[in-house]
Each structure stands twice: as structure tokens, then as C-alpha cells.
């Protein structure tokens, strides 16, 4: 879940969803020819590998440590163990020189992305005291170019972190790859729901439903608004009242909130929870136009309360049938950065900021204050009326993440880092934040639009572009930064 501000109640009041943790495979190795030549070397290297294993075990992941390999045969055996474990990332710890033949089978047979790490025991050698055996414990960098060359020739993406065992900056770089594995794991196993139909004319939002299974391994579940209608019809009055009480504890209710609209939103919220549970969804994108206040129009218009509560629990639920943006929101969510649905709203050339946000569903856990529930007589550009959510994202560092699509159909991660700052905001039932990108806002918009991002994205807390770049690498998609 999101790292919440101290005064944010969402984490206490909404039960976060639990997901499969990323599976990390870990194997250490060195050239067995050295062991009889230098009897003290292997114990020292195994001590280093134990330290590395302990650091990985402390991370939020399921770690499978297959031990230490000394030759190509042991490498092949390790590869088979890791293949069976269905890893989201495999980490090769090069403790000293080893041959590329020892690690190539692991990369080829496991069908998982590989990270090479080489962490020498300390920042530098003691040249006056060291003999050859002591030096070899510092020789983990030696095979890194060899492995990189062989991986390139084999068509295997190469990633590495070089440093020393206690170097926290190196471990921060390693942790970026673990965060990326969280995203890969989430998207590989995600079940994305789409309910309703495309917002008419919004061609940038249109997504081929086979694209996510082919690119990530995700599943797309096609739903009908009638699936929601059937569940709304069986919600009991006591459930409606309980959901309204929960909403009152999370939101500040504006005087404009009509109690009948509020109760309708609460009823739909209860039904939405059941819909998500029944179809085991990790995200939901929806839209329905409707006509003249008929039931399906009222269902679509009443989604915002329940969608915001689901998003606050870690299940992005997004309007305008924005499937790709729910994927981006899921990616930002699983690394603890939240992710609220947004678009450009206006530019302020005096303060050099971009105002961005959206009407409708919001990620309550990243609000800078208690979110406001406001009653609206009309949703701009949409049919219906009811209650909507209004707030400003936590002030400080933020990162946008969008999911773009190119001419050939390929997906890409597109990111930009900025800072949310204080200032005047519209009071129209929208989430709105003032984002400073440190440059002329018009020039930023031009560069952002040129990436092919589309007009919606996830606004996540913290500067996380490096995490999203690493995730793009593990997912084998392009990464673009503005």
C-alpha cells in the first residue's frame, strides 16, 4: 500500500488488498578451480553470499536461494530449480571470477529476467597485505563484461549492479529492480475488468484486449453493466447505511451532497465490492453513457464513491473505459506510490505549474487532506449526476506514469517527475493538483504529448521514474521520460 501522510485516515479505515509477492530467485557463484588452490577463498565467498541472501530475505518478496555454484553442471542444476519456481526476477551474485558457461543456462532456461550483481567485500583492497586468494574475493567485477557480451550474443537483456557489500547506494539500485519485479509480478498475474463501452470518440483510450495478455500475461475480463445491476438489486439497507457511515469517516461531506444521491453511491459501492470479489479483479475500467436517467445511466453516474474506495484499497477503478491507465495505476500502486487518475486541466504561466487531476474516481490514500465529497448537478462531458470526490494530492515529489501505445501496437511506460505545490484550486468536485516540473509548463506539455502518452495517466507520490524504468526493462517494453 501507499506510504501515507500522517493525517491520512484511509490506511486505517480501508482494508488493503493482498497480492502475490514477486518471486526472486537468487544464486551465487565462483570458479571451482580456485577452491583447492586457495582454501580460505570459498568460505569467505559463501559468507558474502549469506549476507546477500539475508538482505534479500528482508525485502518484500518471496526469495528462493538455490545456493552456490562452482561449475557449469551446478549452474544447469540451479537453472532447473529456478525454472520450476516461476521467478519474476533472478539475481546472479558473481562473488569472484566465473565462466559465462556457468550462468548462461540459468538465463536461457528460466524464462525470467536476470539481474547480475557483483559486490566486493569492502570499498577497497589492502594492497600491502593481500595475496592472490585475497584479491580473488574482490574479483566479482572481472566476469561482468564477459557475461554482458554472452548475454548480448544470446539475445538476453543485460542488467547489472556493481558495488561493495555494505554500500547502501548499491542496495538502493538493487531495490529498484525488486520494485520493478513487484510491477512485473502484478501485471503478469493481473485480472483487469472492463465494463461498459468506450467513451464515444476517445480514440486514444481504445485498447486491443489481446494486447495486455500478449505483452504482460494479464487477463482481461469483459463485464456488462448488468453484472453490476444484478448485484445492486440485492444490496440490503443496513449495508447501505454501513457504507455511508464508512464514507462519513473518510470524507468531509459538502453541503451540496444530496442524501439520496449519497445513498445511491453507497449502494453501488457495496455492489462494486462484490463484483470485484466475484471476478477476482485487480483493476476495473468502466464507462456507460445512458439516456434520460435510465438505470444504466444512473449506475454509471453513481460509481465515483465506490470506485474511489476501491482505488484507495489498491484496486484501481477508473472511468472513461481507461484500461491502459488502470494498468499504469496498478503499476504505481504495487510499489507503494498510490496513483490517482488524472489529465491536464490548465496551465499557470505565472507560477509555472501544470494543474492536473480528473473528475470521478480518485486514490484516496494519496490525498493531502480528508477528501471532500461534493454533490454535482452534472458531470462535465458525461450523462448523469450525483456525488464526486475532490482533493489535492500530497504535496512534495510526484511521478506521472502513463501507458502509451505506438503505431506497431507496442506498449511503453512514459514517466515524468515533478513536485506538487500549494496554491489555489478549483472547487468543482475534481481532484486537482498543482505540479511544478521545473520548467515552462507549455514546453512541458509539448514534450509530454510527443511521447504518445494519451490524455490520462497515473499521478503517483515520490520520485519513482527509475523504478518505472527498471519495470519497463523487466517487462520488455519501451521507456520514455520527460
**What nine digits make up the cell of 382?**
458525461
The pLDDT assigned to 378 comes to 56
Work out whether the CA dihedral 195, 197, 198, 199 comes out positive or negative.
negative
- Range(s) for CATH 3.20.14 in the chain? 190-481
The pLDDT assigned to 447 comes to 96
What is the SS3 assignment for the chain? Answer: CCCCCCCCCHHHHCCCCCCCCCEEEEEEECCCCHHHHCCCHHHHHHHHHHHHHHHHHCCCCEEEEEEEECCHHHHHHHHHHHHHCCCCEEEEEECCCCCHHHHHHHHHHCCCCEEEEEEECCCCCCCCCCCHHHHHCCCCCCCHHHHHHHHHHCCCCCCEEEEECCCHHHHHHHHHHHHHHHHHHHHHHCEEEEEECCCCCCHHHCCCCCHHHHHCCCEEEEECHHHHHHHHCCCCHHHHHHHHHHHHHHCEECCCCCHHHHHHHHHHHHHHHHHHHHCCCCEEEEECCCCCCCHHHHHHHCCHHHHHHHHHCCCCEECCCCHHHHHHHHHHHHCCCCCEEEEEEEEECCCCEEEEEEECCCCHHHECCCCEEEEECCCCCCCCCEEEEEECECCEEEEEEEEEECCCCCEEEEEEEEEEECCCCCCCCEEEEEEECCCCHHHHHHHHHCCCCCCCEEEEECCCHHHHHHHHHHHCCEEEEC
The pLDDT assigned to 1 comes to 43
**What nine digits make up the cell of 136?**
580473488
**What nine digits make up the cell of 303?**
460509481
pTM of the model: 0.91
Q: Which residue has the cell 444530496?
A: 258
The pLDDT assigned to 385 comes to 65
The pLDDT assigned to 294 comes to 87
For residues 45 and 6, is the Cβ–Cβ distance under 8 A? no
Q: Please give the span between the terminal C-alpha atoms of the chain, in angstroms, as a whole number.
A: 26
**What nine digits make up the cell of 253?**
461531506
Topology adopted by domain 190-481? L-fucose Isomerase; Chain A, domain 3 (3.20.14)
The strand pairing partners of 357, in sequence order, are 343, 432
Closest listed residue to residue 432, CA positions, set 390, 394, 401, 463: 390
The pLDDT assigned to 334 comes to 94
Closest listed residue to residue 264, CA positions, set 234, 289, 287, 232: 232
- Range(s) for CATH 3.40.50.10940 in the chain? 23-187
Topology adopted by domain 23-187? Rossmann fold (3.40.50)
Q: Under 8 Å CB-to-CB from 241, ≥6 apart: which residues?
A: 266
Q: Which residue has the cell 481504445?
A: 206
Tens of pLDDT along the chain (482 residues)? 445 443 556 667 788 888 889 999 999 999 999 999 999 999 999 999 999 999 998 998 999 999 999 999 999 999 999 999 899 999 999 999 999 999 999 999 888 999 999 999 999 989 999 999 899 999 999 999 999 999 999 999 999 999 999 999 999 999 999 999 999 999 999 999 999 988 888 888 888 889 999 999 999 999 999 999 999 999 999 999 999 999 999 888 888 888 988 999 999 999 999 999 999 999 999 998 888 878 888 898 899 899 999 999 999 999 889 999 999 999 999 999 999 899 888 999 999 999 998 876 778 888 877 888 888 765 555 545 678 887 888 899 999 999 999 999 899 999 999 999 988 887 777 788 899 999 999 999 999 999 999 889 999 999 999 999 999 999 999 999 99
Amino acid at each position: 500500500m501507499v506510504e501515507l501522510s500522517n493525517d491520512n485516515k484511509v490506511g486505517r479505515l480501508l482494508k488493503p488488498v493482498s497480492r502475490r509477492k514477486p518471486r526472486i530467485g537468487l544464486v551465487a557463484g565462483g570458479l571451482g578451480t580456485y577452491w583447492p588452490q586457495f582454501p580460505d577463498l570459498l568460505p569467505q565467498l559463501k559468507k558474502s553470499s549469506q549476507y546477500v541472501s539475508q538482505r534479500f530475505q528482508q525485502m518484500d518478496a518471496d526469495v528462493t536461494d538455490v545456493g552456490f555454484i562452482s561449475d557449469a553442471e551446478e549452474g544447469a542444476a540451479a537453472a532447473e530449480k529456478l525454472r520450476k519456481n516461476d521467478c519474476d526476477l533472478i539475481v546472479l551474485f558473481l562473488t569472484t571470477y566465473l565462466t559465462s558457461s556457468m550462468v548462461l543456462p540459468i538465463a536461457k532456461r528460466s524464462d525470467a529476467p536476470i539481474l547480475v550483481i557483483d559486490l566486493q567485500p569492502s570499498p577497497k583492497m589492502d594492497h600491502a597485505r593481500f595475496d592472490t586468494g585475497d584479491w580473488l574475493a574482490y574479483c566479482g567485477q572481472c566476469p561482468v563484461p564477459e557475461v554482458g557480451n554472452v548475454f548480448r550474443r544470446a539475445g538476453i537483456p543485460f542488467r547489472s549492479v556493481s558495488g561493495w557489500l555494505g554500500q547502501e547506494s548499491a542496495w538502493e539500485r538493487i531495490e529498484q529492480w525488486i520494485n520493478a519485479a513487484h510491477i512485473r509480478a502484478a501485471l503478469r498475474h493481473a485480472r483487469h475488468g472492463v465494463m461498459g463501452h468506450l467513451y464515444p470518440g476517445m480514440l486514444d483510450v481504445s485498447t486491443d484486449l489481446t494486447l495486455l495478455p500478449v505483452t504482460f500475461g494479464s487477463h482481461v475480463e469483459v463485464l456488462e453493466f448488468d453484472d453490476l445491476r444484478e448485484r445492486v438489486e440485492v444490496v440490503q439497507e443496513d449495508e447501505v447505511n454501513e457504507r455511508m457511515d464508512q464514507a462519513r469517516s473518510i470524507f468531509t461531506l459538502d453541503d451540496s451532497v444530496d442524501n439520496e444521491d449519497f445513498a445511491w453511491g453507497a449502494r453501488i459501492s457495496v455492489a462494486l465490492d462484490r463484483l470485484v470479489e466475484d471476478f477476482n479483479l485487480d483493476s476495473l475500467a468502466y464507462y456507460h453513457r445512458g439516456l434520460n436517467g435510465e438505470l444504466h445511466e444512473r449506475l454509471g453516474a453513481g460509481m465515483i464513491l465506490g470506485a474511489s474506495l476501491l482505488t484507495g484499497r489498491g484496486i484501481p477503478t477508473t472511468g472513461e473505459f481507461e484500461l491502459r491507465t488502470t494498468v499504469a495505476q496498478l503499476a504505481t500502486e504495487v510499489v507503494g506510490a498510490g496513483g490517482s487518475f488524472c489529465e491536464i486541466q490548465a496551465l499557470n504561466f505565472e507560477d509555472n505549474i501544470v494543474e492536473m487531476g480528473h473528475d470521478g474516481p480518485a486514490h484516496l490514500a494519496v490525498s493531502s487532506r480528508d477528501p471532500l465529497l461534493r454533490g454535482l448537478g452534472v458531470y462535465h462531458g458525461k450523462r448523469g449526476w450525483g456525488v464526486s470526490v475532490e482533493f489535492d494530492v500530497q504535496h512534495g515529489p510526484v511521478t506521472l506514469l502513463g501507458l502509451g501505445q505506438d503505431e506497431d501496437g507496442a506498449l511503453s511506460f512514459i514517466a515524468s517527475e515533478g513536485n506538487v505545490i500549494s496554491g489555489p484550486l478549483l472547487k468543482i468536485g475534481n481532484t486537482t493538483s498543482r505540479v511544478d516540473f521545473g520548467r515552462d509548463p507549455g514546453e512541458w506539455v509539448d514534450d509530454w504529448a510527443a511521447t504518445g502518452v494519451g490524455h490520462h495517466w497515473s499521478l503517483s507520490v515520490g520520485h519513482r521514474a527509475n523504478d518505472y524504468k527498471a519495470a519497463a526493462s523487466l517487462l520488455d517494453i519501451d521507456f520514455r521520460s520527460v
